[in-house]
Amino acid sequence: MPRKRFTAKDRARIFAANNGCCHLCGQKIDGVREGWEVEHVIAWELTRDDSDANLRPAHASCHKIKTHGEDRPAINKAKRREARHTGAKRPAGRIRSAGFAPSPKPKTPKQALPPRMMFAVPGALWQPIGGRDGD
Ligand SMILES: [Zn+2]
């Protein structure tokens, strides 16, 4: 949906509905000497609301301050939030800690176990490992 362009009729209606006052600084707008613009109370980028309830006249300078100081950061934040929500932006990953300190005790290698008989050989006597001796 493209952004609406306001006609002279729209501007006149919005100007009259607000008694020709800038809704940001509250002062009267001199339509001949001062530039003024139709301003969205809640940024259009956030709501896509072009209804008269969301439109007010504002000095061009007041409008510029609001747009760059309030609206733009809010719009950028909403876009970042949406990108995370849809998965378009992936999370950066977990914060890694330093981990555990190395053990002060030196590691001793384990002693190898004695070989085991894995299968019975015909004719061979079976002897249990570490069996009785001197019987
Ligand atoms: Zn103003």
Residue-wise pLDDT tens digits, 55-65: 999 999 999 99
Listed by start position, the domains of the chain span 8-86
More confident call, 1 vs 74: 74
- Say how far residue 87 (Cα) sits from the centre of its chain: 10
Residues 57 and 22: beta-carbon distance below 8 Å: yes
Look up residue 114 and give its two tokens: 């004695």
Fold classified for 8-86: DNA Binding (I), subunit A (1.10.30)
- Say how far residue 80 (Cα) sits from the centre of its chain: 5
Cα separation of 11 and 18, whole Å? Answer: 11
Look up residue 31 and give its two tokens: 């339509």
Is the pLDDT at 48 greater than 70? The verdict is yes
CA of 50 to the centre of ligand 1 (A): 20
- Looking at residue 101, what is its pLDDT? 84
What is the pTM for the complete model shown? 0.64
CA of 40 to the centre of ligand 1 (A): 14
CA of 25 to the centre of ligand 1 (A): 4
> Going by C-beta distance under 8 Å and a sequence separation of 6 or more, which residues neighbour residue 66?
24, 39, 58
Look up residue 1 and give its two tokens: 């949906």
